[in-house]
Amino acid sequence: MSERVLAGLAVSGGVAVGSAFTLSEAGEDPGGDGAEAAVAALTRIAAELGRTAERLGAQGREIQAEIIEANRMMAEDPSLLAEVVELAGSLPAAAALRAATERRADLLAALSDPLLAARAADVRELGRRAVRALTGVGAAEPPPQPSIVVARELGPAELVDLRLEEGLVLGIALAEGAATSHAAIMARSLGVPMVAGLGDDVLTVGSGDLLIVDGAEGTAVLSPGAESRSRFEARAARDAAARERLAAGRGQPAVTRHGRTIRLLANASTPAEAAAALDCAAEGLGLVRTELAFLDAPDWPSATQHEEALTATLSLFTDRVVTVRTLDFGADKTPSFLRGRGGRGVALTLEHEEALEAQLVGILRAGKGTRLRIMLPLVESPVQVSAVRLLLRRAAATTARPLPQLGAMIETPAGAMRAHELALVADFFSIGTNDLVATTLGLDREQREASPLTAADPSVVELMRRTIDAAHEAGITVEICGEAAGEPELTALLVGLGVDELSVSPARLDAVRDAIRRSGKVGDELGELRDGRGGVVA
């Protein structure tokens, strides 16, 4: 077979060159009582996941333990069990398990928020494990020799089964999957190159065939020739040296060459991400999304539910800055109890003041011991910030907690154009570049042209500069927490615009810290940007 290059999604950086090891699929349904067998399979999987989580915790591998424990709870979800029983009335047990988990996964995968959509991989993994248990196919096992694992999709528990830390998995190539899945987090935390979304062609690779995975570019090379193999092996050696160099900088402050300090924070929605951020020396959390835990909620969450959902994540950052965003429900992130209603972000939650106040109470309780900040999504009017501040004062009185800073997220041109007004009522700004880029340039956030690098478009830069200038005139700080903040190629531009804080995914902390330290004076880094209204961005 001649050399072929498949394009997919960059998940975990690095290059792997080696023999393929293709994971087998589940076998045939053995028949019998469908409902009883399906429920028994899920029960067995929940018990296995529970034991795995305990083992990982005892080994000090808290990131993996938290993720596996979350999957165990998913396997015991009464609504999932009820759906499986219902489907098993007309389908074989394996088909019922596949249908129930696939239905839930499809709903999640349709969400535009990549972190929320990536939960689909965990649901599908649960279905695969249950079907394997039902049909007699054992759990995924590591290859007998160092190899690149090839599969349709993998979940976090399957990665634990593969025992990545033992070094037998050189890389991972998936036909499906997402760059923000729990499996992706685990692969990145262990430095295993991984590419997802390669399509069915990657499944034609036979075990033992030579394969190359490029986790930085998101490609796989099937049947590589001698020239490609030599080139990628050399790059793998260079990448390893670069990672060691960047990791060595974790003890150094994020200070530019001319002495300007940038606070380097992390985005996190789970305890696993928060733990990964700590490992990479994040100074705090700049964006904690709260809707992740409640997409399947039957009604607005209570204060206690909010507290329970956040405590494990926030408690890892005692005495450090943590920035919690209130619920960003609406549009594609609409739970069943809100379907058919319009609105999104803070505008939507202000229509339900009791629910918003309950969330503020829960956040204040969960943030005890941290330097808590609360920020509001999609703010476009000073009235919105003032209205929430009144609720926050009541919540603080209820919990006997001090008032935290209240910030406004600038994510639309309308918000940026009113930045001077918003700066008078907000305690800080956070620029969400994902939505700002999409709304300014009229792009679909899910398309490739909506890449983080499009934040360097002059029209977007002008809105960011307007926002940052307004904040500084009012004496408040500005962070950037969108994907653009995690692009080292953009760091000099953002520093040049005057941003005070960057909040990035844990995997990007080392590279962005290095880019900050190589940046120059404010203004020097704007290059050919000129006045932000035209020309080429350097």
Tell me the CATH number at 149.
3.50.30.10
**Residue matched to tokens 């995975």:** 213
In a domain, 265, yes or no: yes
In a domain, 167, yes or no: yes
Cα torsion 101, 102, 105, 107: sign: negative
Structure tokens at 116: 């929320």
Residues 450 and 522 in one domain: yes
What are the pLDDT digits (tens) for 134-173? 876 555 678 889 999 998 888 777 777 787 767 889 999 9
Higher pLDDT, 117 or 339: 339
pLDDT at 24 over 60: yes
**Exposed/middle/buried for 318, CB within 10 Å: 0-12, 13-18, 19+?**
exposed
In a domain, 12, yes or no: yes
CATH number for the domain spanning 59: value is: 1.10.274.10
Would you state the pLDDT for residue 446?
Answer: 44
Mutual angle of helices 353-366 and 303-314, in 10-degree steps: 30
In a domain, 534, yes or no: no
Residues 146 and 93 in one domain: no
- In the structure, what pLDDT confidence band is assigned to residue 531 with cuts at 50, 70 and 90? very low
In a domain, 532, yes or no: no
SS3 breakdown of the chain: % helix, strand, coil, rounded to 5? 50, 15, 35
In a domain, 531, yes or no: no
In a domain, 345, yes or no: yes
Residues 219 and 309 in one domain: no
Residues 331 and 434 in one domain: yes
CATH number for the domain spanning 415: value is: 3.20.20.60
- As annotated, the active-site residues are 182, 481
Residues 109 and 61 in one domain: yes
Domain that holds residue 135: 24-139
pLDDT at 57 over 90: no
**Among 107, 139, 171, residue at a domain's last position:** 139
- SS3 track for 122-170: HHHHHHHHHHHHHHCCCCCCCCCCCEEEEECCCCHHHHHHHCHHHCCEE
Work out the mean pLDDT of the chain and round it to a whole number.
85
- In the structure, what pLDDT confidence band is assigned to residue 445 with cuts at 50, 70 and 90? very low
pLDDT at 336 over 70: yes
pLDDT at 537 over 50: no
Structure tokens at 173: 């190539």
In a domain, 538, yes or no: no
Residues 270 and 388 in one domain: yes
Residues 364 and 399 in one domain: yes
What are the pLDDT digits (tens) for 470-503? 999 999 999 999 878 988 999 999 999 999 999 9
What are the pLDDT digits (tens) for 224-242? 999 999 999 898 888 878 8
Residues 281 and 383 in one domain: yes
Q: If we measure between CA atoms, which residue out of 408, 434, 411, 412 comes closest to residue 487?
A: 434
Residues 222 and 81 in one domain: no
**Among 105, 139, 173, residue at a domain's last position:** 139
Number of domains in the chain: 3
Residues 87 and 168 in one domain: no
Residues 5 and 71 in one domain: no
Q: How far apart are CA 455 and CA 281, in angstroms?
A: 26
pLDDT at 323 over 80: yes
List strands edge to edge, sheet with 210-214: 4-7, 219-222, 210-214, 15-22, 147-151, 169-174, 194-196, 9-12
**Among 139, 164, 183, residue at a domain's last position:** 139
Residues 30 and 166 in one domain: no
Would you state the pLDDT for residue 530?
Answer: 38
pLDDT at 534 over 70: no
